[in-house]
Amino acid sequence: MKSFAVNWKTTGAGVAGILSAAADIINQLVTGNPDANHLMVDVTGIITALGLIFAKDGNVTGGTVQQK
């Protein structure tokens, strides 16, 4: 099975994005002030971060470099 977290740069950016969006969601729930607009931005951020985690490595241009 191919590993999805090969490139540490995109994986790190994706994890940071998920953590920041999750922190904002938790903050909204703890304060008792959930806002639909903020939640939609957070969900969009999580989806984008997942895209970064599953992104192709930066050193692969057309599939000529073997993956580990």
Q: Does pLDDT of 63 surpass 70? A: no
Q: Confirm whether 60 is domain-assigned.
A: no
Q: Confirm whether 37 is domain-assigned.
A: yes
**Does the predicted TM-score (pTM) go above 0.85?**
no
Over range 37-46, report the average pLDDT.
95
What is the pLDDT of the chain when averaged over all its residues?
A: 84
Q: Does pLDDT of 24 surpass 60? A: yes
What is the C-alpha separation between 32 and 51, in angstroms, rounded?
A: 30
What is the C-alpha separation between 47 and 59, in angstroms, rounded?
A: 23
pLDDT at 31: 95
From residue 28, alpha-carbon distances to 16, 41, 43, 49, 56 in Å are: 18, 13, 13, 20, 33
Q: Confirm whether 25 is domain-assigned.
A: yes
Residue with more model confidence, 29 or 58: 29
Return all residues near 43 (Cβ < 8 A) that are at least 6 apart. 21
Expressed as residue numbers, the domain containing 28 is 8-53
* Count of the separate structural domains present in the chain: 1
Q: What percent of the chain has pLDDT over 90?
A: 57
Q: Which two tokens stand for residue 3?
A: 């590993």
